[in-house]
Structure 1
């Protein structure tokens, strides 16, 4: 049972959010949803305590309310920030697991907002770094340090090509090397889930991009070969406190 007297929103109020939640549970009230959004999540992407307290109720509504699904996803995508509410987030474990199932069912319907929901599902899995940066691979770039020589390497995956390079201010991407995509057998963990889900839902470009993102790259400077996803995850996975 939530003690709302301790759950302030962005205005410091402790009683407005539960009233709004009751309104949206009764009917799909657009004004109430809009007010909930700015009371629970600040423009600087900080989630307030009331946001995590509201999460179980939002996830229960997610299967029938696009607004609930979107707001719950927004809260989860920002859960890696320094919000100071890890105890509240820990209490949402079951609700988040149910939300993941709801999102997976929605993805199967191949919605227009597929990529956003896909990223919400990654956040629900705790894969915040992929949730934050994953694109549609039309023109995606990932910057990381070569594990061998620490050179800053640009990884390009998109219509511009699929390569590793050194980015020069005047010349663009130089010393390009083709990426080696991973086979399905080489994928594991979140990479396998991402690929299998994209294939299941007919997202060929997304699936192909994922094989390259979880494949191998050669450093243009020292020539060492490394796993792109491993290097990016090591540098960008948030440490939750």
Structure 2
């Protein structure tokens, strides 16, 4: 039983979230979903205590509700933040695991909210840096530091090309990314690539080959693994 009186929302109020959850459980209510979102997810990508408390009910709604999937995903994408609710989140482990199973089934149906659901699935797996970084490879921009010379590189993956870029004054230095072969991928990269292929998401699959491939530094010419450098710089340290 949830003691909502001890779980404030983003406005430090306790009475609204259970009422809103009841409304969206009974019928689709766009106004209630909109209010739930700002009450559960704080500014600066933090989550209110009521957000983690609401996860089990959101997960129960997730098989039939895009809004529930999106909101539960947004909450979990921010689970590595400084929210002070680690014990409450740990108590929701069963709901998080069930959400992962729901998302696995949902992704196979090739839904309209595929990218949102894939990001949520990454958050369930604790891959928070990727859950917050993926934009669909229409024009994704990432920033990494060359591990050899320290140059700050801008990496683009999308419809305008896949390359690493560096400016030397007014002069642009650019090198094309070297995509990994699907058979070379391991770990998260392999799972993302195979999942996208399975579900007919060709743009995502090709993007993952580049994201988990090799980048050549336009400054010093050295090679490094793009995903490894991005992960090193951006993966949060879980407490």
**TM surpasses 0.5:** yes
- 1:205 deviates by 1.2
Matched, 1:88 2:88: yes
- 1:214 deviates by 0.3
- 1:47 deviates by 0.9
Secondary structure of residue in 2 paired with 1:67: helix
- 1:221 deviates by 2.0
Distance in structure 2 (CA, Å) of the matches to 1:216 and 1:230: 10
Query: Paired residue for 1:194?
Result: 192
Q: How does 1:62-81 map to 2 (within 5 A)?
A: 62-81=62-81
Q: How does 1:141-160 map to 2 (within 5 A)?
A: 141-160=141-160
Query: Paired residue for 2:122?
Result: 122
- 1:148 deviates by 0.9
- 1:50 deviates by 0.6
Flag the 1:111–1:170 CA change in 2: closer, same or farther, 3 A: farther
Secondary structure of residue in 2 paired with 1:155: strand
Flag the 1:34–1:165 CA change in 2: closer, same or farther, 3 A: closer
- 1:67 deviates by 2.0
Flag the 1:86–1:168 CA change in 2: closer, same or farther, 3 A: farther
Distance in structure 1 (CA, Å) of the matches to 2:35 and 2:159: 40
Let me know the Cα RMSD of the aligned residues. 1.8
Structure 1 segments (4+ residues) deviating >3 Å: 167-171
Distance in structure 1 (CA, Å) of the matches to 2:175 and 2:162: 8
Distance in structure 2 (CA, Å) of the matches to 1:207 and 1:125: 19
Secondary structure of residue in 1 paired with 2:141: strand
Q: How does 1:127-142 map to 2 (within 5 A)?
A: 127-142=127-142
Distance in structure 2 (CA, Å) of the matches to 1:34 and 1:221: 47
Q: 1:139 touches 1:160 (CA, 8 Å); kept in 2?
A: yes
- 1:77 deviates by 1.7
Flag the 1:138–1:68 CA change in 2: closer, same or farther, 3 A: closer
Q: 2:66 touches 2:113 (CA, 8 Å); kept in 1?
A: no
Query: Paired residue for 2:28?
Result: 28
**How many residues are aligned here?**
239
Query: Paired residue for 1:221?
Result: 219
Q: Can you give the 5+ residue segments of structure 2 that lack an aligned partner in the other structure? A: none
Distance in structure 2 (CA, Å) of the matches to 1:68 and 1:216: 37
Distance in structure 2 (CA, Å) of the matches to 1:4 and 1:230: 41
